[in-house]
Structure 1
Amino acid sequence: MDPYVLIVEDDDNISEMMTFYLSEEGYIIERAGTGPEGLEMFEARKPHAIVLDIMLPGLDGISLCQQIRRKSSVPILMVSAKHEVSERVNALLVGADDYLCKPFSMREFAARIKALLRRSQLNGGAEQPGEREDISPIAIDVERRTLFVRGAAVETTFSEFEIIKLFYQNPGKVYSRDELLNRIRGFDSFVTERAIDVHIANLRKKVEADPKEPKYIKTVWGVGYKFILE
């Protein structure tokens, strides 16, 4: 069965362009022009992915995303003319899987949808509430440079993300401060061994239930740090 994508967008020109590009990829497309209409179509048809504009008549995209997330983990790509970092973070925090700022390349748009569907298939498809009890306590999305802690997106600095990405991709490996310094050198203006300790302390505050008794980011005395994810 070809993937079914629901587009909830009140700008007909943009909606038509999205439909054209996704149809070329073999997707089945349906469109809604308002928030309530989008919610109704979602509940009736159970799409494989949703494209959701933030500014919608009747029910805004943020509220619609929250309602959908109470019922499903269907991949959601949020689109908006709002470029502020706070808007992107808010969209991710309420449950969006990706965010594109208008205007954007339709080729990139189609690629983002393809990536969302691929990740969804790797994870076993859309889940219903209650199916994520075994969710990993810590996860990262390299493409979106996003850290997730118990399923919720958490803001990180560039250097913090580089460190947690290195840890996450190499669990159990011990890294000295020099190795971590080399990892972020060129991105961090104040790159010192003390800076590494500060980054580690900040990461622990974000991922650990008790930063003073870390479960995931462990200190290896006299050497450096390692990451444990059981």
Structure 2
Amino acid sequence: MTRVLVIEDDPIIGEMLTLYLTEEQFIVQRVESAREGKFALGTFNPDILLLDLMLPDASGTELCSQFRQLTAIPIIVISMKTAVADRIQAISAGADDFLVKPFSMQELKVRMKAVLRRVTTPKPVAVQHTQADSASMPESQLGLSLDLERRTIVLDGDHIETTFSEYEIMKLFFQHPGRVFSREELINAVRGIDSFINDRAIDVHVTNLRRKLEKNPKEPQFIKTVWGVGYKFIK
């Protein structure tokens, strides 16, 4: 059964979420603060996180960024904020989806399942190697590949930690090396047509991938920009 961590300090909304998701056969733990949420990541081991951005001990999109640094599981932000700018900031900070309160519980369930469909084991493990290790590494382990079981990118034998969306973009690139993808195609691949994301968020994900994978992100070897169109992957 899927484990859902709900970080929501409003007692009415929190109770509604807990009751509904429990009835829908999810295992739910709800906490009311960022501090409790960070602790629950390790003790409850959730598969997905529902995060309110206005908590008593922290608030704002930097809160989403903090949780993204702690985990690679899907994060759905639930917020009273309705401005497009707030959605863009949350997605850019690492959220995988954004729902404005009040929202339909059925819509929440559909969006949760949409992001979970693309996840098997979203807890990547980073492995560090020295230069000497890389020099003695077999040629078959050199270069860039995907570890489908761990949902990680492997670069010269190292498992590179990525967010959910970064991994989905790289998986699409690997399936179609050399193909030029428009930003709209990448949006649909990462979110699904009904989920919120924009061109700017795709550019942020690609920039972050280049920082993690490229020796010189300003002169990328793997992810090339095709000006006026989008991006392509050179394997």
Give how far 1:44 is off: 2.1
TM-score, normalised by the number of residues in structure 1:
0.61
Structure 1 equivalent of residue 85 of structure 2: 86
The residue that corresponds to 1:217 in the other structure is 226
Measure how far apart 1:64 and its partner are: 3.3
Tell me the CA shift for residue 63 of structure 1.
3.5
1:38 is matched by which residue type in structure 2? G
| TM-aligned CA distance change 1:150 to 1:81, over 3 Å | closer
- Cα shift at 1:72: 1.8
**C-alpha distance in 1, partners of 2:206/2:11?**
33
Task: Give the number of the structure whose alpha-carbon radius of gyration is greater.
Answer: 1
Distance between the aligned counterparts of 1:226 and 1:13, measured in 2? 44
Q: 1:93 to 1:128 in 2, by over 3 A?
A: farther
Mapped to 1, the partners of 2:50 and 2:89 lie a distance apart of 16
SS at 1:74 equivalent:
coil
2:31 corresponds in structure 1 to: 32
Q: 1:151 matched to which residue of 2?
A: 205
Report SS of the residue matched to 1:47.
coil
Cα gap change, 1:13 to 1:41, in 2 (>3 Å): same
Output the CA distance in 2 between the equivalents of 1:152 and 1:217.
Answer: 13
5+ residue gaps in structure 1? Answer: 155-207, 220-224
Distance 1:24 1:153 in 2: 40
The 1:228–1:55 alpha-carbon spacing in structure 2 relative to 1, beyond 3 Å, is closer
State whether structure 2 residue 123 is matched by structure 1 residue 126. yes
Between the aligned partners of 2:203 and 2:32, the Cα distance in structure 1 is 34
| Cα deviation, residue 115, structure 1 | 1.2
**Equivalences, count:** 167
Q: Distance in 1 between matches of 2:230 and 2:206?
A: 23
For 1:47 and 1:101, how far apart are their aligned partners in 2? 22
The residue aligned with 2:2 is: 3
Instruction: Tell me, yes or no, if structure 1 residue 111 matches structure 2 residue 113.
Output: no
